[in-house]
Every structure is written in structure tokens, then in C-alpha cells.
């Protein structure tokens, strides 16, 4: 997500030049990445040729706010979803959804998913230090949320039979796994998140930037549904002169009004960016970002028409995506994907910012 690296960092940092002005700022960033299947197939039929992979995510944020003398306040809406899984789990899902033959063996079944939708307000402040060569921007978001999922399912499933040894820890506002224990009323949640961005202007040509999102992230929900427990394969049961094996199930659920309070957390995400201005027309940008266990590295080249306007393009590892965009002090827009045909794309990102100085 380069232009949350570059475009959104521009929102934080270029504005310090106009610290005495009143600004209106709007940012939007939406990205989705899936490894085992193209995005559309991953969300729907899971029917494209299976590729190696063990993760998928989408991060979406919309902000509208105002800024004056380094102080920014505004509204934020956000939808985050992150999924980790074992490649065997993707294979099991692929075979099941496409009615393909299973091997007679135990399939490792591991899913870890976190998803939440939130709406709230944010506050940030630009600390300009050492003659404004170093800028530190802490940001605090307070939000409310009524929808989330937090699940870990770990174990094995034998072939295509409905039996296995699974351990489940599952908390939710809507039961999308078992489809039986959704609370009658949406849970109520309140939470906060802390981000931090740091920019160091080493010299006229070199700039280093670091950003951490959700360094602290916690939401307290009340009225939460849950399913916790295990299913096990009993070794054998004697029935007369024969032996029969069958699974047993020990689950605790929120059925019959047993909803609980629950504390939900998102994991932090980290960005590092190096920008080098070669001359008046050309600059280079190398950035890396870390989401959970996935690391993405991207290189960009920009052509500057003047001190304000530039166009840029770059390539990112891992997602194998190409990005193109345009940016100025007041507006930026970029698109990044690994396929022009979105039906076959494993990654897609759209980003913009608008900054009005009044």
C-alpha cells in the first residue's frame, strides 16, 4: 500500500509547511489481498486454480477532518479484516466447494481471523523538532463498533467426512461459522487506537519516514456471542463384538441468552519509507511494510513537473502489483493491482487524499 506510505504520509507531513493555515483534509484508502485465490473467487466460489498461500486481508479507511497549526481533528470510518490459514485448509476448502475428490487423510484445518467495522473521531498533533527537520505525529482514534469477528479454529478434519479433532475459540457479533448463535441484539462496543508517524528530513535530498498503525488497539464489547470448545475423535467404542469410532463434541456457546463481555484487539502494522530526490525532475522511493507475517517491499520512481506536481509508478514484491498515480501538495490519487482484469487479481488498492488550505 505505497500511497498510504507516500500519499498519506504527505497528508501528515507536507502540511507542516502551512502550519499557520486552516486546512480541510479528506483521505480514503482501500486495499484487499488474497493469496490462495483471486479476490473475487476468494469472496465467492473459491473456484479458480488454487495457488500457494496462507493469508488474506483487507484494510479500508475513510477520514474527513480539519487541521490548524498542527492540530487535526475529524471523523473516521474503518473496516479491517485479516485472515491467516494453513495451506491445507485452503486445499480442503477448494476441494469441498468444487466437489472434487479428497485424499483419505487428515487435513490440517487452521483459521485465524479478525474483522471489525468502526466509526469514530480522531485527534493528532504535529510535533516539529530540530528546526522542523524531525516531525513526530501521534494520533488517537476513539470509535464505536457493533460488528466484529475474532476466531481461531485449529485441528484436523478427515477427508470429506464431518469429523475431526478441532479446537475453537470464536467470539462474534454475527455467527458466520456455525450460523446458529448470533445475538438477538448487536453487541455494543467502544474502543480506541493509537498510531504514530515519524519523518526525518536528513538533508535536502534524503527523507526517512516510519509509521505504526494500531500500535495500541482495543475495543470493549458487551453482549457478545461465542462458541468455545473442542471436537475429538473417540478412539473406539465397543458395540457387541464390533468396534465403532465416532466424534464427540464439547462446546460452550452463547445460546439461550448467555452473551458475554469481550475485549477485542487488532495487531499493529508497520511502514518504513526512504525517499531520495535525485534532481529537480526525478526522485526515488523505497518502502517496506509489515502486516502480521507478510512483508511487502516496493520501489517507486517519480517525475516532478514542478515543486508541487508529480507522477509516479512502482512495483511491489509479494503482491506483484504495479502502482501508478499522481500527487501534489493538495491532491493525490493512485491505483495499484497485479492484474488489469480484476476477476483474476489477487491484490487491488485505491487511494486518494484531498487537502484544501483556506
Residue 330 pLDDT > 80: yes
List, for residues 274-289, the tens digit of each pLDDT value: 999 999 999 999 999 9
- The pLDDT score that the predictor gives to residue 198 is 98
**What is the pLDDT confidence band of residue 160, given thresholds at 50, 70 and 90?**
confident
- The pLDDT score that the predictor gives to residue 293 is 83
- The pLDDT score that the predictor gives to residue 352 is 97
Separation of alpha carbons 278 and 275, rounded Å: 10
List, for residues 124-157, the tens digit of each pLDDT value: 999 999 999 999 999 999 999 999 999 999 999 8
Closest CA to 270 of 200, 333, 353, 198: 198
What would the grid cell of residue 272 be?
A: 518504513
What would the grid cell of residue 289 be?
A: 511494510
One DSSP character per residue, 238-287 reads EETTEEEEEEEEEEEE-TTT--EEEEE-PPPEEEEEEEEE-SSSEEEEEE
- The pLDDT score that the predictor gives to residue 322 is 98
- The pLDDT score that the predictor gives to residue 190 is 97
- pLDDT average, residue stretch 324-343: 95
- In whole numbers, what is the pLDDT of the chain averaged over residues? 89
Q: How many helices (H) and strands (E) does the chain have?
A: 4, 18
- The pLDDT score that the predictor gives to residue 159 is 87
**What is the pLDDT confidence band of residue 342, given thresholds at 50, 70 and 90?**
confident
- The pLDDT score that the predictor gives to residue 8 is 46
- The pLDDT score that the predictor gives to residue 18 is 43
Residue 240 pLDDT > 60: no
Residue 312 pLDDT > 90: yes
**What is the pLDDT confidence band of residue 251, given thresholds at 50, 70 and 90?**
confident
Amino acid at each position: 500500500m505505497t500511497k498510504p506510505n507516500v500519499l498519506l504520509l504527505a497528508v501528515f507531513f507536507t502540511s507542516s509547511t502551512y502550519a499557520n493555515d486552516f486546512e480541510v483534509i479528506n483521505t480514503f484508502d482501500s486495499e484487499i489481498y488474497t493469496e490462495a485465490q483471486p479476490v473475487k473467487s476468494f469472496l465467492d466460489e473459491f473456484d479458480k486454480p488454487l495457488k500457494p498461500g496462507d493469508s488474506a486481508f483487507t484494510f479500508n479507511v475513510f477520514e474527513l477532518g480539519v487541521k490548524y497549526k498542527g492540530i487535526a481533528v475529524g471523523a473516521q470510518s474503518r473496516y479491517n479484516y485479516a485472515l491467516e490459514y494453513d495451506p491445507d485448509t485452503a486445499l480442503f476448502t477448494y476441494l469441498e466447494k468444487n466437489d472434487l475428490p479428497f485424499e483419505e487423510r487428515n487435513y490440517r484445518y487452521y483459521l485465524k481471523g479478525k474483522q471489525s467495522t468502526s466509526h469514530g473521531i480522531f485527534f493528532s498533533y504535529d510535533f516539529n523538532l530540530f528546526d522542523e527537520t524531525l516531525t513526530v505525529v501521534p494520533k488517537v482514534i476513539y470509535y464505536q463498533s457493533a460488528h466484529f469477528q475474532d476466531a481461531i479454529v485449529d485441528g484436523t478434519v478427515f477427508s470429506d467426512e464431518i469429523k475431526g479433532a478441532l479446537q475453537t475459540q470464536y467470539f462474534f457479533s454475527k455467527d458466520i461459522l456455525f450460523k446458529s448463535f448470533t445475538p438477538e441484539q448487536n453487541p455494543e462496543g467502544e474502543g480506541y487506537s493509537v498510531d504514530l508517524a515519524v519523518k526525518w528530513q536528513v538533508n535536502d535530498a534524503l527523507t526517512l519516514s516510519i509509521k505504526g498503525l494500531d500500535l495500541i488497539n482495543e475495543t470493549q464489547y458487551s453482549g457478545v456471542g461465542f462458541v468455545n470448545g473442542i471436537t475429538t475423535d473417540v478412539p473406539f467404542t465397543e458395540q457387541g463384538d464390533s468396534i465403532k469410532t465416532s466424534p464427540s463434541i464439547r462446546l460452550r456457546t452463547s445460546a439461550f441468552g448467555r452473551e458475554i463481555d469481550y475485549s477485542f484487539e487488532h495487531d499493529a502494522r508497520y511502514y518504513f519509507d526512504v525517499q531520495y530526490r535525485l534532481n529537480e525532475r526525478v526522485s526515488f522511493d523505497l518502502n517496506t511494510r509489515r502486516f502480521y507475517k507478510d512483508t511487502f517491499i516496493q520501489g517507486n520512481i517519480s517525475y516532478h513537473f514542478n515543486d508541487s506536481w508529480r507522477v509516479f509508478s512502482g512495483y511491489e514484491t509479494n503482491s506483484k502489483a504495479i502502482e501508478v498515480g499522481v500527487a501534489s501538495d493538495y491532491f493525490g490519487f493512485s491505483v495499484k493491482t497485479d492484474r488489469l482484469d480484476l476477476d483474476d487479481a489477487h491484490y487491488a488498492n485505491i487511494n486518494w487524499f484531498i487537502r484544501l488550505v483556506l
